[in-house]
Amino acid sequence: MLGAWDWLATAKGFRPERIGVYGASLGAGSTLMAFGQEPRIAALFVDSPFLDLRQLIDEELARRHYPAFLAFSGILMARVVGGVDLFAHSPQEAITHDAGRPIFDVHGTADSFINIHHSRDLVKLAAETGANVTTWFPEGVDHHPHAILQLPDEYEQLLVMFFRTALQ
Whether 41 is covered by a domain: the verdict is: yes
Distance CA(122)–CA(60), nearest Å, equals: 19
Q: What is the pLDDT of residues 69-117, one digit of tens each?
A: 898 888 888 888 988 777 788 899 999 999 999 999 999 999 988 999 9
Model-level pTM greater than 0.75? yes
Whether 153 is covered by a domain: the verdict is: yes
Distance CA(159)–CA(153), nearest Å, equals: 10
Q: Domain total for the chain?
A: 1
Whether 140 is covered by a domain: the verdict is: yes
Whether 75 is covered by a domain: the verdict is: no
Distance CA(83)–CA(26), nearest Å, equals: 20
CATH of the domain at 31: 3.40.50.1820
For residue 66, name the pLDDT band (cuts at 50, 70, 90). Answer: very high
Whether 100 is covered by a domain: the verdict is: yes
Q: What is the pLDDT of residues 116-151, one digit of tens each?
A: 999 999 999 999 999 999 999 999 998 888 999 999
Task: Pick the closest to residue 22 from 8, 51, 7, 1 (CA basis).
Answer: 1
- Which structural domain range is residue 113 located in? 2-52+90-166
106 with 47: CB under 8 angstroms?
A: yes
Whether 57 is covered by a domain: the verdict is: no
